[in-house]
Chains A and B, each alone.
Chain A
Amino acid sequence: MTHLPRARALTLGAATALALAACSTTDPNQAGTAAGSGSGSAAGSGEVQTGNGVTDAEIRIGMLTDLSGPFAAGAAVQVTETKAYWDQVNAAGGVCDRDVAVDVQDHGYDPQKAVTLYRSMAPDVIALQQVLGGPTSAAVLPLAEQDDVYVGGVGWAGSALQYANNQLPGASYAIEGANAIDHLVDGLGVAEGARIGVVYFAGDYGADVLAGAEHAAEERGVEIVAQEITSATTDLSAQASALAQAGVAGVVLGAAPTQLASLAGSLASQGVDVPLIGMNPTFNPSLLTTPARDALLANTYSITSVAPYSSDAEGVKAANELYAQADPDGALGWEVPLAYVQGELLKQALQGACDSGDLTPEGVVAALRESSSVDTQGLLPDGLDYSQVGQSPTTTVYLSKVDADAPAGLALVDELSGPSAESFSYGG
C-alpha cells in the first residue's frame, strides 16, 4: 500500500461521518410488532409463530458435516440415512403440516469453514441436526448458543453439555468411561487394587473418557495408568509395552479404529491377554480384515451411547431397513442408528415446538429442554432427560463384544448403568 495521502484520509473521515449520520439505534421491529422473540414473526399459518427457516410449506434444517476430511466416509453414511429419514417423515405428512428439508454443507473438519458455513446457514434454518467433529462443533456451538439455535450430533464430549442449545445423543464419554471401569470390575472380574490402562486422544473426547474413568477408579478402588496419544499415532507398540510393564488387568481406549487395531495387536503380541474396552467410535467392521483380527475377537468390547447396528430393538431395525433401501451397498455401522435417532430427536423437538405454538429456533431449544423423559424405540436408552443443562441425559450405555458373525462386527451384550456412572456428575 502507498502512503495514505491526506486527501484520502480526509475522504475517509468524511465517509465515516456520513455513515454515522445514517445511524439509528432504535429497532423498528421492536417498536412495530408485538414482543416477539428475536427475528420471529407471528405471521404464517394458524396460531403457530414461526421464525428462521420456516415457511407455510417447509421447515428447513441444517447439517454441517465432514464430507472431505478425516470422517468423510462415516459422515456420508449419516447424510444418506438422514435424508432417507426425513423423506420418510415427509411421506407420512411431515412435521407441523410442513415438509422438512435438509441443507447439507461440508466443513471438511476445518473450524474456519464450519464457522463461515454456519453464518451462511443460520439465517435459513430452524435447527442444526448435526455439527460433526470436535474442533468444528466447539467453534460453532457458542455462536449457535448466542443465536439460540438447536445443535445436535456434536459427538459425546462432556464439554458440549454446558450449552443449553446442545442435544447430546445418549450418554457422554465420561459416562462411557465410568461404565467401562464398572464393567471391568463387576463383569470381567478385575480385582480391587488392580491397575487399568486408559489410552486416550489428546482433546475433549479423550479427556472426557479419562475423567469418567478416573472418577470410577476412585469409587471402585482401582488404579488408572493413563497414556495420551493423538490421532496421528498409528503404532501403539510403545504404549502397549508401557501398559504391559505396569501389569494392567484391563484397558479402556478412547481413540479411533486404527488405534484399537494397533493396540489390540500389540498387546496380544506381547502376551498381554486382558479385556480391552473401546469407546463409541473406536470400532469399525473393516478392522476384522487386519492382522489384529484374532486379538480383537479374543477379548475386545465396545461401549456405545447408541444401540449397535446388530441390536434387535424396534427402532434399530427400522433404521437399518431404511438404510438398506436408501443405499443397498452402503457401509454398515453405528452411524446408521445414530443418524436415524438424531432425526428422531430433532423431530420430537420440532413437534414439541409446534405444539407449544412457537416454531422458531428458540422454540425448538425450549422444547428440547422441556423434555425430561424421551423414548426412542430402543435406539437410545429410554427416559433421556434433557432438562438438566450440563449433565449427561442418561447414565445407560450399550456394551457389545466384537463378534465376526454379528452384523457390523458387534454383538450386543447388555445395557449397562454402573454405580460409578450414576454417581458421576460434571463440575462436581
Chain B
Amino acid sequence: MTYFLAQVLNGLSYGLVLSLIAAGFAIVFTSTGVLNFAHGSVVLLGAYLVAVLHPTLGFWPSLLVGMAGSALVGVAINALLVRHLADQNAGTAAILMLGVDIVLLTELTRRIGNQVLTLGAPWGASVVRFGDVSLPTGRVVAAGVTVVAFAGLWYLFARTDLGVGMRAAAADGPTASLMGIRLTRTAATGWALAGVLAAVAGVFLTSFPAPGVAPTVALSAFAAIPAWVLGGFDSVPGAVVGGLVIGLTSALVTGYEGDLERFVGTGFGEVAPYVVMIVVLLVRPSGLLGSKEAVRV
C-alpha cells in the first residue's frame, strides 16, 4: 500500500509539472490558434537560462530571468514570424514552429554539449517524508507553485480586463476586435504566459530527481501533448486534469511494469499516455473539458 501511495504521489506531482506545459500549449492555441511544436525548446531554454545564470545571479533572480527570457522568445516568435506567415493558417503555423524548434534546439544542444548543467535549486536533493512515503522536495515545491500558478491564471481570465479580453478574442476574434479588444495584445500575452509557464516547468523537470539540464528535456514537452489533448484543446483546467491523468498513468504503468509485462510488453509506460489519449478522444471527441466543437453549415 505504501508502494502504491508512493507511486500515486510521484505520478500526481509529475503530472502537475506536465500540466504547466500542457497549459502553455492550450493558451497559445486559444490565443493564436498555433500548434506550438517549439514549446519543448522553450521549456529547455528557460531551464538553460537558469542553469547558466545561477552561479552569478543566484537561483531566484536567474529564475526570473529565465521566465522573462522564455516569455520574450515566445512573444518574438509570434510577432516576427507567426504574424508574417505567407499563408495565415494553423497548418503552416505548426510547421513554422517546427522550423523554429529545429533552430532553437540545435543551438541549445550545441551550447549544452555533453555537460549535465545543474540549476542550483535551493532544495537540492532533499526529500520530504509523509509517513512511510518520501517525495523529493523539488516535487513538493512544484506542486505548490503549480497550484499558485493556476490560481493566478484563473484570476487573470476571470477577473481582469486583459484576461476577459483574451477569452473574448478566443471565442470570437473579429467580434472582439470590433469591440475594441486589441488582438495583437491578447496574442502577445498568450505567448508570454506560455513562455513563463514553460520556464517554470523546465526548472522542475531538470531539478532533482532529474539530474540537470540536458537536451532530452525538450522531449518531455511531447509527453505533455497527450495531457493537453485529453484535457481539451482550449481549456486550462483541462490541462490540469490531463496532466494529472497522464502523470498518474505513467507512474503506475512504470511502477507495476513487472506485473503488466505479460499483457502489454515491455516499455509500455512510454505508450500508455497516448493510449489513454486515444481512448478519451473516442469517448469525448473534444477532450474531457474542451468546448463542444461547432458544426458549421
A residues engaging B (CB < 8 A)? 68, 70-74, 202, 225-242, 245-246, 257-258, 260-262, 265-266, 268-271, 284, 286-287, 289-292, 294-295, 331
Q: Is the CB of B254 within 8 A of A242?
A: yes
Q: Tell me how far the C-beta of A23 lies from the nearest C-beta in chain B, rounded to whole angstroms.
A: 44
Q: Is the CB of A225 within 8 A of B110?
A: no
Q: Measured between alpha carbons, how far is A237 from B10 in the docked complex, in Å? A: 8
Q: Measured between alpha carbons, how far is A231 from B257 in the docked complex, in Å? A: 17
Q: Measured between alpha carbons, how far is A235 from B7 in the docked complex, in Å? A: 13
**B window 180-213: CB within 8 A of A:** 205-212
Contact pick for A258, options B11, B110, B210, CB 8 Å: B210
Q: Is the CB of A235 within 8 A of B14?
A: yes
Q: Is the CB of B6 within 8 A of A241?
A: yes
Q: Measured between alpha carbons, how far is A398 from B118 in the docked complex, in Å? A: 29
Most buried by A among B3, B208, B215, B255: B208
Q: Is the CB of B136 within 8 A of A237?
A: yes
B291 interface hit (Cβ, 8 Å): no
Q: What residues of A have a CB within 8 angstroms of the CB of B121 in the complex?
A: 291
Q: Measured between alpha carbons, how far is A238 from B139 in the docked complex, in Å? A: 13
Q: Knowing that A232-B222, A270-B127 touch, tell me 5 more A-B residue pairs with CB under 8 angstroms.
A: A231-B216, A238-B7, A266-B209, A269-B126, A290-B211
Q: Is the CB of B270 within 8 A of A230?
A: yes
Q: Measured between alpha carbons, how far is A269 from B10 in the docked complex, in Å? A: 13
Q: Is the CB of A261 within 8 A of B106?
A: no
Q: What residues of B have a CB within 8 angstroms of the CB of A292 in the complex?
A: 125, 208, 211
Q: Tell me how far the C-beta of A243 lies from the nearest C-beta in chain B, rounded to whole angstroms.
A: 10
Contact pick for A268, options B116, B125, B207, B210, CB 8 Å: B125
Q: Is the CB of B127 within 8 A of A261?
A: no
B266 interface hit (Cβ, 8 Å): yes
Q: Is the CB of A261 within 8 A of B267?
A: no
Q: Tell me how far the C-beta of B8 lies from the nearest C-beta in chain A, rounded to whole angstroms.
A: 11
Q: Measured between alpha carbons, how far is A88 from B164 in the docked complex, in Å? A: 70
Q: Is the CB of B255 within 8 A of A242?
A: yes
Q: Is the CB of B216 within 8 A of A241?
A: no
Q: Measured between alpha carbons, how far is A289 from B208 in the docked complex, in Å? A: 12
Q: Tell me how far the C-beta of B294 lies from the nearest C-beta in chain A, rounded to whole angstroms.
A: 36
Q: Measured between alpha carbons, how far is A68 from B109 in the docked complex, in Å? A: 8
Q: Is the CB of A238 within 8 A of B210?
A: no
